[in-house]
Amino acid sequence: MKIIIYAPNIHEGGGLVLLNSLASISSKFAIYFIIDVRIKEKYNYFYNKDSIFFVLPGIYGRLKAEYFLKKYANKDDVILCFHNMPPLFKNKGNNILFIQNSLIFQKTNITSISIFKVFLMRVILRLRLKYLQSIIVQTYSMKNLLIEWLDGRRVDIRIIPFMPSGVLQDCYKSNPHKDYYDKNKFIYVASGLPHKNHINLLLAWVYLAKLGFYPELTLTIDKKHTELIAKLNYYRGEFGIKICNVGLVNHDQIFDLYKAHSALIYPSISESFGLPLLEAKLISMDIIAGELDYVRDICSPVETFNPESHISIAKAIMRYGKKNYNTPLDSNYNIQNLFDCLTENLKGSNGKNNA
């Protein structure tokens, strides 16, 4: 019996952070990883694992990985599909799908390429639901979106919120976020993907500058998002907005960044979980976020706004200067919860086979 972590296209963002944590967990069951070869450039510990199959990007690499999974999985194995998609080919294992991309079920502002990709994911998910033993999501709003999208199809859906174990330890070791007298320092931890809504955030800062207000904002946009960075540089030069992009940051440096800012601002249109929201909550950092279900699943922001309106975002920033709240810690987000679910399925599978 073994656990197979199937993540052929996870190579950046929150998914990679979670995959990193999964790779560091010890288990009495053998764990096998089928992962994106691009991870080699970011995490050296994957080199030392014998039970790894690296997947090349592209259609050929994906099909090769799917075929390998079909041949390698046995009837006692539990397969955690970590890339939002069920297997393309039927296999002998017990397949559990972890969905961390809410865009699959929502209509939102995404590029034409992403629209095609999301459409393809929806088609594959509908056609391959029959291969799944259960689906894991992290919030009630994600479960509700999934139920609505399934339109009557019955699937076992489990809510298991979790975060990287190292991050959870850092939260508990960290001193609570100190109150700032200068409430002009904000941070947004997010990639440059369209649904992260950076454009409206930049426009909000331009709007504030026109009113004579120049709060500081730190972004973590990957350098590969050249058009977005070019737009940021233009607004910075044209309007004098105080925005600094530090680029992609190693996750062990995130809490140092949090401590240097008064509040986390989070204008993302859609999230399956929103890890930075939970991180900020755990260290009692002020949060300013969109008035959206996924946000309320995790925290109670000190201020909210309409993420589709840059003026609404700007006004929330202005209101925040007059208020000071902290958010209590009230949930268990240990990633071990996910492994408990997987091992429970392994034991169940073994019992059935011995019956």
What is d(CA 1, CA 264) in angstroms, rounded to the nearest whole number? Answer: 43
Alpha-carbon distance values, 343 to 161, 336, 346, 347 (Å): 17, 10, 5, 6
Q: Give yes or no: residues 92 and 184 share one domain.
A: no
Q: Give yes or no: residues 87 and 124 share one domain.
A: yes
Residue 119 confidence class, pLDDT cut points 50, 70, 90: confident
The amino acid that residue 86 corresponds to is: P
Q: Give yes or no: residues 309 and 340 share one domain.
A: no
- Walk across the sheet containing 157-159 and list its strands: 52-55, 30-36, 2-7, 78-81, 94-98, 132-137, 157-159
- The DSSP output letter for 104 is G
Residue 180 confidence class, pLDDT cut points 50, 70, 90: very low
Instruction: Convert the pLDDT of each residue in 82-116 to its tens digit.
Output: 888 899 999 999 999 999 887 777 665 555 557 77
The answer to whether the beta carbons of residues 77 and 30 sit under 8 Å apart is no
Kindly report the backbone phi and psi dihedral angles of residue 136, in degrees, each rounded to the nearest multiple of 5, phi listed first.
Answer: -110, 130
Q: Give yes or no: residues 7 and 128 share one domain.
A: yes
Instruction: Convert the pLDDT of each residue in 302-348 to its tens digit.
Output: 999 999 999 999 999 999 987 443 433 345 666 677 777 777 766 55
Contacting residues for 305 by C-beta, under 8 A, at least 6 apart: 267, 288, 289, 290, 291, 312, 313, 315, 316
Q: Give yes or no: residues 192 and 55 share one domain.
A: no
Residue 32 is assigned to a structural domain of this protein: yes
Tokens of 282: 């755990």
What is d(CA 259, CA 282) in angstroms, rounded to the nearest whole number? Answer: 13
What is d(CA 69, CA 55) in angstroms, rounded to the nearest whole number? Answer: 11
Give residue 204's domain range.
168-320
Q: Give yes or no: residues 155 and 173 share one domain.
A: no
Question: pTM, whole model, 2 decimals?
Answer: 0.63
Give the pLDDT of residue 12.
74
Contacting residues for 187 by C-beta, under 8 A, at least 6 apart: 217, 218, 219, 257, 258, 260, 261, 263, 264, 265
- Walk across the sheet containing 185-188 and list its strands: 242-245, 216-219, 185-188, 263-266, 286-290, 303-305
Instruction: Output 251 or 241, whichever has higher pLDDT.
Output: 241
Give the pLDDT of residue 43.
58
Residue 221 is assigned to a structural domain of this protein: yes
| CATH code for position 191 | 3.40.50.2000
Q: Give yes or no: residues 16 and 138 share one domain.
A: yes
Residue of 240, 243, 237 lying closest to 261 (CA atoms): 243
Instruction: Output 95 or 180, whichever has higher pLDDT.
Output: 95
Residue 329 is assigned to a structural domain of this protein: no
The answer to whether the beta carbons of residues 317 and 265 sit under 8 Å apart is yes
Q: Give yes or no: residues 119 and 139 share one domain.
A: yes
